[in-house]
Structure 1
């Protein structure tokens, strides 16, 4: 009887942990996308002339995008898609393609960090490169709401 109780408890604990983990991953994914969006917004403000060019802001924004996108694919562990449906099942169906977009964005931002945009116009061009990669990934893998 005790073995059955322990086994049942372990099954419930495992299920609860899986649900918590999915929620935790979802929250982290959302937070990471907001970080990237905020950094992109900083660059957009400079590119549009709403904010003055500031090399430190540009570097911080590019670094935020770079470090965040390098972590992002780890938030979609192997296995079945999220049971809550918050992330597109296409990610798990084509994980290599999904990771490829993340790698491409990391490469673009690596290059931009190494040779940062030096003025408003260059920030606009950099933002165009970043946006192209983001759009391609969102087109393929983001759920339309």
Structure 2
């Protein structure tokens, strides 16, 4: 009869190691993916705004409202996707500062929400008004990316 104890002990040790390592490896990839998709939507809106400002696309009040509405909708949802278990993985570009300075992150997000709402409510009727409103919104993007994003580019 063969003694299976060494094999059993090895399997037991591997299972124990997996239990200990499991929590350390836990990553909320769904939250990471959701916030990446929201930032892609935000980027598309910003690109459309840039095209208007560069004269590559025609300005219309409807398009301006669409851009600011899309950005505002992103701003309202975005903060929901930063649980503790989403700090790493999924090629996240979220900087540790989000969790280290949560009050500052929340303040930056609130400012973005306010400015996108104000731009939406202003309903720019010409390219000059659009440029002014978009400038305020874009400042938020820049500041947040500098403070709360890891630039892997």
Give the structure-1-normalised TM-score: 0.80
Structure 2 residue runs without a partner (length 5+):
1-15
Q: Deviations over 1:52-103 (max 9, x none)?
A: 11111111110110011111011002x3562327221110001111111111
Structure 1 residue runs without a partner (length 5+):
1-7
Instruction: Give the CA RMSD over aligned residues.
Output: 2.1
What are the equivalent positions in structure 2 for 1:61-140 lying under 5 Å apart?
61-77=67-83, 79=84, 82-84=87-89, 86=92, 87-140=94-147
Give the structure-2-normalised TM-score: 0.76
Q: Which protein has the larger Cα radius of gyration, Structure 1 or Structure 2? A: 2
- In structure 2, distance between residues paired with 1:55 and 1:49: 15
CA contact (8 A) 1:49 1:120 kept: no
Runs of 4+ in 1 over 6 A off after TM superposition: none
- In structure 1, distance between residues paired with 2:130 and 2:101: 32
Q: How many residues align?
A: 130
